Chain A
Amino acid sequence: MDDLPLDALWVYLSGSPLLALTATLACYLIATRLFERSGQFALLNPVLVSVTVLAFGLVASGVSYANYFEGAQFIHFLLGPATVALALPLYRELPTLRRHLLPIVLAMSAGLASTVGSTLLIPRVTGMDELLRLSIAPKSVTAPVAMGISERIGGVPSLTAVFAIITGVLGAMIAVPLLTKLRIKDDAAKGLAIGLVSHGIGTARAFRISERAGAYSGLAMALTAMITATGLPYLIGWLGS
């Protein structure tokens, strides 16, 4: 009776992209402000906070994820041009990058070997079944590439996307405290490590350190995606999973 107009309003709002877009932007702005105010406290990572708040909002209001994504896809779409844009900070680093080419290649190789190695080894030790092991294997790669790899090696792509995104948020959260503790001072080293283990979400965090860290993180992310996509299926085949 009295709440009928409200019902109609809700039907309209939940069906239009406006509400999902506004909620996502507002959550992000508040979460970012909170993160900066807290002195960049790791647990208050803006992606983690926004995602948690929005997910609770969906559950509480009974709006489906598909429905939410219809609005939020306009934000999601911008990931494409943003990835292309990573070339610009990288281009500005090219003179330094050329001078340190050998150390970068060696650090990338060591980093990839240890990341992929431990991602294959730990699930065996902890007794994960084969399907899960294959689904978690490409988790340090940006989600769309990781899903493609997962499909080829026989994992579950949607599960791989979950592992990849959790890895990204995890890397973005722990990287700065961990690297500070290790006394890593060079932003190039910070960025390269962050991009290698935690792809785009980590790269977003690296840009908050400096433009330089972001550039190296973007580079590591792109190279990790290319190398893992070409190499991992062979490695898995060779190891016989």
Chain B
Amino acid sequence: MKLLVGFTALLCLQLAGEIVTRLFALPIPGPVVGLFLLLVALPLIPGLAELVDDAAQALLAHLSLLFIPAGVGVIVYIGRLDGVIVAASATLVGSTVIGLCVTALTLQRLMRGRSTRLDDAGDATISEH
């Protein structure tokens, strides 16, 4: 029952997100707006986190599965990449590697200076939940 209630709550937030996106003609999809709506609602409504937890866990535990139907579609279109495979691969691999290195190294380096003490404090706050 809790699973169903949680799932309904997630769908309601997605619906609210879709409505907001369309009303204000936002360039981001409804579910992403729904994500931020839930993030705002969680500290305001006591018990909400508990309520959606089961449904969220169930969905996020198998997030990879949800991308497979769209992924199969890639194969259908991949023939259109004929002739640009080298340039496209260079771009995709190059920028992915660069982006991963820059983001992770920057964050790790900036956090290291103040990490140990703050991480301990952070973990302590989390375990209170």
Q: Mark B42-72, 1 if CB is under 8 A from A, else 0.
A: 1100000100110110011111111111111
Whether B100 and A72, one on each chain, are in contact in the complex, defined by CB atoms closer than 8 angstroms, is no
Q: Is A2 an interface residue (CB 8 A)?
A: no
Partner of B77, one of A86, A162, A178: A162
Are A83 and B55 CB-contacts (below 8 A) given A47-B64, A140-B95, A178-B97? Answer: no
- Which B residues are in CB contact (< 8 Å) with A184? 104-105, 108
Q: How far is the CA of A204 from the CA of B66 in the complex (A)?
A: 9
Partner of A91, one of B43, B96, B102: B43
Q: Is the interface of A mostly helix, strand, loop or mixed?
A: helix
Q: How far is the CA of A24 from the CA of B62 in the complex (A)?
A: 13
Whether B27 and A110, one on each chain, are in contact in the complex, defined by CB atoms closer than 8 angstroms, is no
Whether B68 and A84, one on each chain, are in contact in the complex, defined by CB atoms closer than 8 angstroms, is no
Q: How far is the CA of A82 from the CA of B119 in the complex (A)?
A: 28
Q: How many cross-chain pairs have Cβ atoms below 8 Å apart between A and B?
A: 321
Q: How far is the CA of A52 from the CA of B68 in the complex (A)?
A: 10
> How large, as a class, is the contact surface on chain A?
35 or more
- Which B residues are in CB contact (< 8 Å) with A82? 59-60, 63, 66
Min distance, Cβ B58 to any Cβ of chain A, angstroms:
9
Q: Is A51 an interface residue (CB 8 A)?
A: yes
Min distance, Cβ B6 to any Cβ of chain A, angstroms:
9
Q: Which of A53-106 contact B (CB under 8 A)?
A: 54-55, 58, 65, 68-69, 72-73, 75-76, 78-96, 99-100, 102-104, 106
Q: How far is the CA of A186 from the CA of B109 in the complex (A)?
A: 10
Whether B73 and A161, one on each chain, are in contact in the complex, defined by CB atoms closer than 8 angstroms, is yes
Partner of A99, one of B63, B106, B121: B121
> How large, as a class, is the contact surface on chain B?
35 or more
Q: Is A16 an interface residue (CB 8 A)?
A: no
Whether B115 and A145, one on each chain, are in contact in the complex, defined by CB atoms closer than 8 angstroms, is no
Whether A200 and B75, one on each chain, are in contact in the complex, defined by CB atoms closer than 8 angstroms, is no
Q: Mark A100-129, 1 if CB is under 8 A from B, else 0.
A: 101110111011001100110011001110
Q: Is B23 an interface residue (CB 8 A)?
A: no
Interface, chain B (partner A; CB < 8 A): 7, 10-11, 13-14, 17, 27-32, 34-39, 42-43, 49, 52-53, 55-56, 59-78, 80-81, 84, 86-88, 90-108, 110-111, 115, 118-119, 121-123, 125-126, 129
Interface, chain A (partner B; CB < 8 A): 24-25, 27-28, 32, 46-47, 50-52, 54-55, 58, 65, 68-69, 72-73, 75-76, 78-96, 99-100, 102-104, 106-108, 110-111, 114-115, 118-119, 122-123, 126-128, 132, 136, 139-140, 142-145, 148-149, 152, 158-159, 161-163, 165-172, 174-175, 178-179, 182, 184-186, 188-190, 192-194, 196-198, 200-201, 203-205, 207, 214, 218, 220, 222, 225-226, 229-230
